[in-house]
Amino acid sequence: GAGVSQSPSNKVTEKGKDVELRCDPISGHTALYWYRQSLGQGLEFLIYFQGNSAPDKSGLPSDRFSAERTGGSVSTLTIQRTQQEDSAVYLCASSLNSGEQPQHFGDGTRLSIL
Amino acid sequence: GNSVTQMEGPVTLSEEAFLTINCTYTATGYPSLFWYVQYPGEGLQLLLKATKADDKGSNKGFEATYRKETTSFHLEKGSVQVSDSAVYFCALKAAGNKLTFGGGTRVLVKP
């Protein structure tokens, strides 16, 4: 499709397990953003990529969170040793370049930690 | 730090009613301001934007004016439809590339 694609759409896992969330941005978009949406915290910025580098990772809540982007396209957000407070909807967005704001976000991955 | 405050919902109104969602912000410098909308079952999408003081953003019958003197960016629509039922998020972008969002306002339009 033409939009931002995220997978899986839902993920349920046990506390302490590692999870990987995937984002396929719109083709040709050089900037990619990860946000998360949780009850009580609203929408929070996590990390931003320009190409394969991450100039701003200030929103990652702890060193259990990491993200990478390869080939200037697909990005993976990894959460190690998950905790219950990691439960949220993780959203990805992309834009043509870093000067633009995202037009559309993906549908998100709903992560539930048991 | 930067922050966005918007009225809490839910806002329930009848079709053809006038809608206002208040949004105020705190930011260093001169931010760009945005409204995003999330329709049921869909991802967030940009509704409108304004990049400098006194700019008016508009789209789909919605309008918002960047008021620097009151640090506000209120969203308005003169005659809502059932299809406008959604969650609306006010957001700003200051220095850097991250968006700072308000808490969202759920709007329910009844026929």
| B94, pLDDT greater than 90 | no
Residue with tokens 């009844």: B110
B44-77 per-position pLDDT tens digit: 999 999 999 999 999 999 999 999 999 999 999 9
Segment A74-98 shows an average pLDDT of 95
* Closest CA of chain B from A112, distance in Å: 18
A108–B43 CB contact, under 8 Å = yes
B96–A98 CB contact, under 8 Å = no
CA atoms within 13 A on the CB side of A48: 19
Residue A92 forms contact with B (CB below 8 Å): no
Segment A59-65 shows an average pLDDT of 96
Segment A19-48 shows an average pLDDT of 92
- Alpha-carbon distance A53 to A30, whole Å? 10
Q: What is the pLDDT of residue A1?
A: 52
Segment A63-92 shows an average pLDDT of 96
